[in-house]
Amino acid sequence: MKHRYFIINKPPGMVSQFVSSVPVRLLGDLDFEFPEGTHAIGRLDSDSEGLLILTTNKEVTQLLFCGGKPHTRTYLVRVKGRMTANTLKRLQTGVPIRISGDDYYIAKPTCVEIVERPATLPDRPGELPIDAPQTWLLITLTEGKYHQVRKMVGVLKHRCQRLIRVSIENLTLEGLQPGEVRELNEHVFFQQLNILYPTKN
């Protein structure tokens, strides 16, 4: 079987799956005919946007998440309020987030910086006006705790208002508009993710 590989720009309000027991927008609602057996690698919650990987190759999850080298994921994040330099430094050096019950984890990104809102970023329905007090951050992680980015900025009293995954390793949205799909060559797919190209499928 020849496997197929896709990236999509997941719009907000859509779950990262093809089947659900409740009425929600699904990946199958996109204007694209995915082959049987296609599934998402990793997830974005319903309210989050951006880069999502889909493939028919079940080995990709193991190769990507259980390899010896952690993979990077970068997020463009809008938070409520103006973030100060001291708060940014706290975020850069690591903040404790609740995992469950009384269990906490020190979440330390590999890179965090304050950035300008990209001029090419599509507006989101109901988005706050551009002059509302807000800060845009570019956050790169190699960790993947549940709702990690939202918890990290929340600890610092900056509520996450928009979260967009813009890259996984060297795979990027590359101008994909929300809801668009791009199919990738298998060799390019593995090369861009910096994981070993499989010798057989």
Active site residues: 45
Radius of gyration of the chain (CA): 17
81: left (phi over 0), alpha (psi -120 to 50) or beta: left
Element (H, E) at 153: helix 148-155
62: left (phi over 0), alpha (psi -120 to 50) or beta: alpha
As a whole number of angstroms, the distance between CA 74 and CA 105 comes to: 20
